Amino acid sequence: MTTKNNTTINLNLFKTVTGNFKRLVIPLILITLLFGKTAMAQDRTITLDEAIKLGVESSNVVKLSRSKIDQAISEYEQAKDKANPTGKASFGYDRAEIPYNTLKLGSMTLGLPKNDNAYLGTASLNETILGANKLKYAQKSTELLTRVARLDAENDKDEITYDIISQYYTLYKVLQSKKVVEQNLTTIDGQIHQAQRFFDQGLVTKNDVLRFQLQRSNIELNGIDLETNRKIVNYNLDVMLGLPETTQLMINIINEDQRQIGPLSGYIDTALASRVEVRQLDLRSEVAETNIKNVQANTLPTLGASASAYYIGMRANPLPQSGTFITPITVGLSLSWDFSSLWNNKNKVAEAKIQREELSFSKAIKVNDVKKEVNQDYQSYVMALDRIKLLQTSIEQAGENNKILDSKYRNNIASATDRADAETLLYQAQINLELAKADAGLAYYTLIKSTGKLNK
């Protein structure tokens, strides 16, 4: 009997525990999994190509540029429409009341009706046969301006791309610096532990231990600054790429010292052939040349053809009935010439030529600016590559020096100050190398941007 009661109690207890487990633990596991997935979804390792693609696709500036292209295309189509024939039709009704409807002409008396109706319908079609090529010039001008708008969009895309690249490398610099800080914190912790052990053995003073602890505090302060900068740059990049603002971006190691660089002259030639500003000035020069021809065309005559049909009815019923209406049809040619333009147009032509010359001067100035910009960016990139090589050598030297001082310090030959200084030099050299790699990467893309080949 007792066994049966104990069995019943144990079963009830098992059911209670199982029910509590299902009610409390399982939902907790589900919540943990849910938030775990969310947290994982917020961390993303991104390449530079991916960042550029996302940024360009989500950029409102690029979308606005495309809208301007659509507007320019619409204006071009409107210019083409002006070459089509023009036509119009109209229909009118008049009701005439004639209170005094008797008219005497000498011995004759003419009687008019008390009232009458009048319907007048017209339809006409006009076509310019010879218009001094003004329509052709208008079409060419708007077509050239459409190409200018496309280049504006291309330039906007380059600017957006470069901004993304700049933010990307800035984040890379911060993340690499944080890694160096973490590595140095691990190293300094080992040194603090060793110094404390030496202090306990009476081999070093308390001041030696404090120096290592102070060095660790300075590294931690540097880490706090880096983390603040990382949050700022990471947020800005999330916004630029159209990603959730809580996404934590990670960047893989970038080897910037493996790119080959060609001669300066090649980059300058590429820039002069590809830079949007130079190409736009060429197009605007063509627009100015077309404008001169358009203004000169004002002095030439124009020839047009027209055809018109009329419906004139005098009955109350507007529908045509035999003998109640007439339908004259006219076809004609018209030749017009505003010969006063021979003396009134010359100053307009002179103004158009001045605008063409201004564009020529502007292009010469821009060409010189492009050459100087490419040269500056080229030299900056060469300097960045040289800096990486020197820093790699300095790291080797600092590393060797750090090993020697570490050995001397362990054997109580070098002071704690010398040991800390050697480690600081190695730490600083490591940071400088990572920053130099990022600077070289950005310098490379700055050079490519100055050649007009950033998105090509």
User: Is position 26 within any domain?
Assistant: no
Q: What is the pLDDT of residue 182?
A: 86
pLDDT in tens, 229-261: 999 999 999 998 989 989 999 987 776 656 788
| Residues 383 and 422 placed together within one structural domain of the fold | yes
Instruction: State yes or no: pLDDT of 4 exceeds 50.
Output: no
**Cβ neighbours of residue 416 closer than 8 Å, sequence gap 6 or more:** 195, 204, 207, 208, 209, 211, 212, 409
pLDDT at site 322: 65
Give the residue with greater pLDDT, 128 vs 89. 89
Domain match, 53 and 177 both: yes
In this structure, are 379 and 423 located in the same domain?
A: yes
Domain final residue pick, 316, 336, 356: 336
Q: Are residues 273 and 373 in the same domain?
A: yes
| CA atoms lying within 13 Å on the CB side of residue 261 | 22
CATH number at residue 156: 1.20.1600.10
- For the beta carbon of residue 327, count every other beta carbon within 10 angstroms: 11
- Structural domains in the chain (count): 2
Least confident of 21-35, 299-313, 426-440: 21-35
* Overall residue count recorded for the chain in this entry: 456
Distance between CA atoms of residues 214 and 191, nearest Å: 12
Please state, in angstroms and rounded to a whole number, the distance separating the CA atoms of residues 431 and 174.
Answer: 10
If pLDDT is split at 50, 70 and 90, which confidence band does 25 have? Answer: very low
Say yes or no: 59 and 110 in one domain.
Answer: no
| Sequence-ordered list of residues with C-beta below 8 angstroms from that of 168, at least 6 positions apart, any chain | 48, 51, 237, 251
Determine how β-strand 102-105 pairs with β-strand 108-111.
Answer: antiparallel
**What is the pLDDT averaged over residues 158-182?**
89
H-helix or E-strand spanning residue 215: helix 206-241
In a domain, 38, yes or no: no
Most confident of 20-29, 135-144, 289-298, 436-445: 436-445
Return the minimum-mean-pLDDT range out of 19-28, 75-84, 339-348, 412-421: 19-28
Query: Is residue 283 predicted with pLDDT exceeding 50?
Result: yes
Is pLDDT larger for residue 218 or for residue 311? 218
Specify if 31 maps to a domain.
Answer: no
Residue 2 has pLDDT above 80, yes or no: no
Residue with more model confidence, 440 or 64? 440
Tell me, yes or no, whether 215 lies in a domain.
Answer: yes
Segment 46-56, tens digit of pLDDT: 888 898 888 88
CA angle, 431 as apex, 415 and 45 as ends, to 5°? 140
DSSP state of 453: -
Listed in order, strand segments (DSSP E) in 280-407 are 302-313, 325-326, 329-336
Greater model confidence, 266 or 180: 266
Q: Are residues 328 and 444 in the same domain?
A: no
96 in a structural domain? yes
- Same domain, yes or no: 183 and 294: yes
Q: Which residue has the higher pLDDT, 163 or 342?
A: 163
| Same domain? 93 vs 209 | no
Choice among 107-116, 140-149, 380-389 with the minimum mean pLDDT: 107-116
- Per the prediction, the chain carries an average pLDDT of 80
Same domain, 158 and 221: yes
Is pLDDT at 38 greater than 60 in this prediction?
no
pLDDT of residue 431: 81
In a domain, 8, yes or no: no
| Domain presence at residue 14 | no
Mean pLDDT of 291-305: 79
Q: Do 292 and 193 sit in the same domain of this protein?
A: yes
pLDDT digits (tens, 9 = 90+) for 116-161: 777 778 888 777 766 656 677 777 788 877 888 888 888 888 889 9
For residue 339, pLDDT over 80 is answered with: no
Confidence of residue 450 (pLDDT cuts 50, 70, 90): very high
Q: Which of 177, 178, 171, 179 is nearest to 239 (CA)?
A: 171
Q: Among 83, 91, 86, 161, which residue's Cα sits nearest to residue 121? A: 91
Residues above pLDDT 70, as percent of the chain: 84
Burial class (CB in 10 A: 0-12, 13-18, 19+), 226: buried
Angle at 311 between CA 306 and CA 312, to 5 degrees: 130
Any domain includes 13: no
**Spatial CB neighbours of 398, under 8 Å, sequence gap ≥ 6:** 422, 425, 426, 429
Kindly report, residue by residue over 359-381, the tens digit of the pLDDT. 899 999 999 999 999 999 999 99
pLDDT at position 382: 93
> Domain residues for 170?
48-84+131-300+339-450
**Amino acid 324: pLDDT:** 61
**Is residue 250 domain-shared with residue 180, that is, in the same domain?**
yes
Q: Residue 26: pLDDT band by 50, 70, 90 thresholds?
A: very low
Q: Which of 310, 336, 362 is the last residue of a domain?
A: 336
User: Are 236 and 331 members of one domain?
Assistant: no
Domain stops at, among 311, 336, 361: 336
* Average pLDDT score over residue span 184-206: 82
